[in-house]
Amino acid sequence: TSNGDIELESIQGAVDADTSNGRIHYEGGPVGTNNSLRTSNGSITVRIPAEASIAFEVDAKEGSIRSSLPLTGDTEGDYWKATLNPPATTAMSLRTSNGTIRIDRLP
């Protein structure tokens, strides 16, 4: 989408979502080999089960990255390459040019 938010819940396959001006909210266990969430101007929030096994590549050029889950790997600055519960069974790329990226536990 060009100008708008993206809400993703109860996904049954791999995700490739992109918006120019809007936030992205993803909730659920990632399915598929590669998942990608991108926004130019907006935040990304990912809420996943704590037992998920995911390799993250996270890039927040003019923003910040936060995780309430224990990730292993490089979690410094505005570019992270880290894994939740290695070895990973799926991958997730999260990118924003201007915004915050949050990775949180799904209740």
Which residues, including other chains, have CB under 8 Å from residue 13's CB and lie 6 or more apart? 31, 32
Confidence of residue 107 (pLDDT cuts 50, 70, 90): confident
- Give the pLDDT confidence of 22-65 residue by residue, as tens digits: 999 999 987 788 999 999 999 999 999 999 999 999 999 999 99
> Which tens digit of pLDDT belongs to each residue from 53-98?
999 999 999 999 999 999 999 999 999 999 999 999 999 999 999 9
Q: Residue 22: how many CB atoms within 10 A of its CB? A: 18
The model carries a pTM of 0.94
Backbone angles phi, psi at 95, to 5 degrees: -140, 135
Tokens of 51: 């037992």
